[in-house]
Structure 1
Amino acid sequence: MPITLKELADFCGARIEGGDLSAIIHSAAEITSAHHGQVTQLTNSRYTRHIKGSTASACIIAEGFVVEDVPDNMALLICADPEISFIKAVELLHPARNYTRQIAPQAVLDAAVSLGNQLYIGPYAVIGENSRIDDGSEIHAGAYIGKNVKIGKNCRIYPYAVIYDDVVIGNNVIIHSGAIIGADGFGYKFRNNEHVKVPQVGNVVIEDNVEIGANTCIDRGALGSTLIGAGSKIDNLVQIGHNNKVGKNVIMCGLTGVSGSCNIEDYAILAGSSGIADHVTIGRGAVVMARSGVAGDVKAGTQVFGSPAKDKKTAYKEQIALSKLPALLKRVKMLEEKIQLLEKDI
């Protein structure tokens, strides 16, 4: 959606320095690739070197951020929070696709489905008995919604996502393609040389403003609910086992795996490829760093690293010590040889 530089600045709450106020901005791009007619952002001093040769028409920066060698063709849009201003610019210049509110004739809906207003239900989407879809939600092509599912307002379920029976989803939830919500938890008892399946008869409850990435799996509770708290964001390829309680505004990065019956408290961050053993509590605001393996509780506000995970500073010291081990062994060997020579002399 092309707009003038001044319109963009007003929309983002930015002050203009230099440039042509009537210049047309048609899209956004990264600082390393932006060209004429595009707006970019600069929030890290490591990237200031890209300014000098840039042909971008505008660059969003923070108040007090010093930039040298700004090209004559580039306007600086100066604001209090450049990251949020750039997000606003991207949303304005690259609006999300709007789907005509309709129910495709190829969609398969049970007679007992309850539907709100202004819905989009794509071709070959399936919605089961006694399920309810509230106002403004989108069920895209090929998505499967089981029985007794409740989906709130303004949700978006992307193609080929699968939502099993009895799942409850709040408002403004996004579930990406390939995600599976409410499959059986992984529960077995070993008896008589075989694995006996434990019935999984609970459900999954997803609160408002949650986003779930592609190919992520969230298992239903064995008896109660697996809960995903409001505002939490879950990346692609994440596994969340049965009966987990995930708090509000939690971040889970790609390839994270959480075993059953864990409690991930509000604002915690699980970085990429982290693994959490069962019945573990990750405290409020705690950070589990990438590729860490957590076998015990993590206190609120702490940062842990390694496998088994421990306090970040301790883990880093151990890593440094290990890096010095070859030189230390070499030195020990030399000392042993000197001792042997002294013993011979004696």
Structure 2
Amino acid sequence: MRIRLSELAGKLGLTLVGQDCEISGVGTLESAGPEDVTFLANPKYDALLATSKAAAVICTEEHADRVASALVSANPYLDFARLLNLFTPQQGSLSGINDAAYVDPEASVDESADIYPFAFVARGASIGPRTKVFPGSYVGDGCVVGADCTLYPNVTLMAGTVLGDRVMIHSGAVLGSDGFGYVPTPAGREKIPQVGTVLVEDDVEIGANTTIDRAMLEKTLIGGGTKIDNLVQIAHNCTFGKNCTIVSQVGIAGSCTVGSNVIMAGKAGLADHLDIGDDVVIGPKCGVRVSIPDGKRMGGHPAMEYGTYMRHMSLAPKIPDLFKRVKKLEKELTALLAASDEGDN
């Protein structure tokens, strides 16, 4: 893609300061070449402006006079992300329903949707406008997939799963698998049928190899705008509010209720039947075993408030020395007690 900076500024709603020129790519301050656009979002990197070979920099007004060409932005990181959309490689080039795909006669597929070879669309399923279903993906009986969705290769939607509009699901993800429910009996564990569904609201993105289990009776709900990373496990009957961020390898046990704008860092884990409030931040590898009210920042295992966790972390390296000091004090105390006993006699 080749585009002039003036045209790019118009598309992004930014102001061009300096020379107009044609650009063809993007890069970091260090890697960008003379036909690339880069960005400066963190002032601690502003020294790199002097050595960068980039054709133009997306930056705030205070840095615009330090480069030959600047696209002035109030939020350079956000506008660089918008710029990247223009340079994102297109995934797939087929259109319509490929002859090698299977679409059940009782399924409904919008005429503007694209169904790739070896995709499977089951009876009663519905595929909305401009949605793409890539090879190897399975859309089970009665599934509903909204408009402008993308199911990348080998996505599985088990029966009854419902996706809103603009949902993106990456390869290997499984939605609507059975929840992990069993009743102990003298003969072993008997499976509890999982007859609920998974409902994913608008503008959700779900990473590769993530699994979201169907509810036992009602629905597992992923709120609008939520972004879920790769390798996340969300168990049955969980409900998420809007605009959550769930990072890789998080594990969430059944029947948890998670509020809106919650962040869970990598490898965090939640026990079952917990309530997590709005705007909560749960740190990496955090083990959560009790409910958390709105606005709390948590860290550690078991989870504790972040300030307490940081004090624990700062003290941990000192424990060996503290242990030695305690042992020394114990010996001194024993000697003093012995001397006291001799004096009494």
| Residue-by-residue CA offset, 1:84-138 (whole Å, 9 max, x unaligned) | 2212222223364463431110001111111212110000100101111111111
**SS in structure 2 opposite 1:209?**
coil
Letter in structure 1 aligned against 2:151: I
The correspondence of residues 1-80 of structure 1 with structure 2, limited to 5 A, is 1-18=1-18, 20-21=19-20, 23-64=21-62, 66=63, 70=66, 74-80=68-74
> Using the alignment, how far apart are the partners of 2:177 and 2:35 within structure 1?
47
More divergent stretch after superposition (121-130 vs 315-324): 315-324
**Shift, 1:67, TM fit:** 8.0
Structure 2 residues without counterparts, runs of 5 or longer: none
- Greater helix share, 1 or 2? 2
> Using the alignment, how far apart are the partners of 1:15 and 1:132 within structure 2?
44
| Alignment correspondent of 2:300 | 306
> Using the alignment, how far apart are the partners of 1:167 and 1:190 within structure 2?
28
Selected match of 2:242 from 233, 245, 248 = 248
More divergent stretch after superposition (239-248 vs 315-324): 315-324
TM-score by length of 1: 0.93
More divergent stretch after superposition (225-234 vs 82-91): 82-91
> Using the alignment, how far apart are the partners of 1:319 and 1:307 within structure 2?
11
**SS in structure 1 opposite 2:224?**
coil
| Alignment correspondent of 1:146 | 140
| Alignment correspondent of 1:119 | 113
Does residue 327 (structure 1) correspond to residue 321 (structure 2)? The answer is: yes
RMSD: 1.9
Selected match of 1:279 from 260, 263, 273 = 273
**Shift, 1:180, TM fit:** 0.3
Give the % identical residues. Answer: 36
Contact 2:283/2:299 (8 A) holds in 1 = yes
TM-score by length of 2: 0.93
Letter in structure 2 aligned against 1:119: A
**Shift, 1:54, TM fit:** 1.6
Contact 2:94/2:116 (8 A) holds in 1 = no
Contact 1:201/1:221 (8 A) holds in 2 = yes
Contact 1:30/1:40 (8 A) holds in 2 = yes
**SS in structure 1 opposite 2:50?**
coil
Letter in structure 1 aligned against 2:31: S
Letter in structure 1 aligned against 2:272: D
Letter in structure 2 aligned against 1:33: S
> Using the alignment, how far apart are the partners of 2:312 and 2:42 within structure 1?
31
Contact 1:48/1:67 (8 A) holds in 2 = no
| Residue-by-residue CA offset, 1:295-339 (whole Å, 9 max, x unaligned) | 010111111111110111111112222222222222223334444
